[in-house]
């Protein structure tokens, strides 16, 4: 997995184990590439290509973020740096909540997007890109201590059985079954089966 983020490695490991327990997801220990793409796909490919170059092994890379409709899809690819170059998850979440403070619930729609790139080494690199989208809306205050990033303010669509919860209130197993990464990975399964 072309990331230095242990949360992503753990999350992907759990998602992969559900369907391909024979595959081991390991983190990337190489240099951090410059993510200068302007789309999730461009950044995912940058990371996967760097990992293949460094390790010689097939690499998966995820680029993901939260897209808020009233903000024209922002923060989007800038989700990790929304509050500045320090990559501060708490500051990012607080800034987004502040920006939406006067926005009424019906207009707080958002979606998590995950784009996964799979790059396989060989004579010519074999590259594949898939997307997963998890629709919902944003709460007015954080709830829950699970997950990471914007999870405590994201209320996924389609919940049943009582009060709605944020992704931060989901168990890891619940989130890994329905998240944007799980949805993207489902699209990747046919490609993995052919490799």
Q: Is 148 annotated as a binding residue?
A: yes
If DSSP codes are grouped into helix, strand and coil, which group holds residue 8? helix
Q: Is 28 annotated as a binding residue?
A: no
Q: Is 150 annotated as a binding residue?
A: yes
User: Which one, of 5, 33, 13, lies nearest residue 148 by Cα?
Assistant: 5
Q: Is 175 annotated as a binding residue?
A: yes
Q: Is 21 annotated as a binding residue?
A: no
Q: Is 185 annotated as a binding residue?
A: no
- 75 upstream amide cis, omega within 30 of 0: yes
Active-site residue 131, yes or no? no
Q: Is 4 annotated as a binding residue?
A: yes
One of 62, 63, 105, 131 is an active-site residue; which one? 63
Q: Is 54 annotated as a binding residue?
A: no
Contact 138, 108 (CB under 8 A): yes
Sheet order of strands, 109-120 included: 59-68, 109-120, 126-138, 154-156
Q: Is 47 annotated as a binding residue?
A: no
Q: Helix, strand, coil % (nearest 5) of the chain?
A: 40, 20, 40
Distance in angstroms (rounded) separating the CA atoms of residues 120 and 127: 7
Q: How far is CA 5 from CA 8, 27, 129, 185, in A?
A: 6, 8, 20, 18
Q: Is 7 annotated as a binding residue?
A: yes
Q: Is 128 annotated as a binding residue?
A: no
Distance in angstroms (rounded) separating the CA atoms of residues 23 and 131: 21
Can you say which residues are annotated as belonging to the binding site?
3-8, 63-64, 148-151, 175, 180-181
Can you say which residues are annotated as belonging to the binding site for Mg(2+)?
63
Catalytic amino acids? 63
Can you say which residues are annotated as belonging to the binding site for substrate?
3-8, 64, 148-151, 175, 180-181
């Amino acid at each position: 997995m072309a990331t230095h983020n242990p949360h992503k490695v753990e999350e992907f490991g759990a998602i992969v184990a559900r369907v391909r327990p024979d595959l081991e997801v390991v983190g990337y220990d190489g240099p951090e590439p410059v993510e200068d793409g302007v789309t999730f796909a461009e950044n995912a490919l940058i990371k996967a290509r760097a990992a293949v170059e460094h390790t010689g092994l097939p690499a998966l890379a995820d680029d993901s973020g939260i897209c808020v409709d009233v903000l024209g899809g922002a923060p989007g690819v800038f989700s990790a740096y929304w509050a500045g170059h320090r990559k501060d998850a708490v500051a990012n979440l607080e800034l987004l909540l502040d920006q939406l403070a006067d926005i009424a619930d019906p207009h707080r729609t958002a979606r998590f997007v995950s784009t996964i790139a799979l790059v396989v080494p060989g004579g010519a690199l074999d590259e594949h890109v898939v997307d997963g989208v998890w629709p919902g809306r944003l709460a007015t205050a954080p709830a829950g201590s699970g997950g990471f990033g914007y999870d405590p303010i994201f209320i996924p669509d389609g919940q049943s059985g009582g009060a709605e919860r944020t992704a931060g209130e989901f168990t890891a197993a619940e989130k890994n079954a329905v998240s944007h990464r799980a949805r993207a990975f489902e699209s990747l399964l046919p490609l993995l089966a052919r490799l």
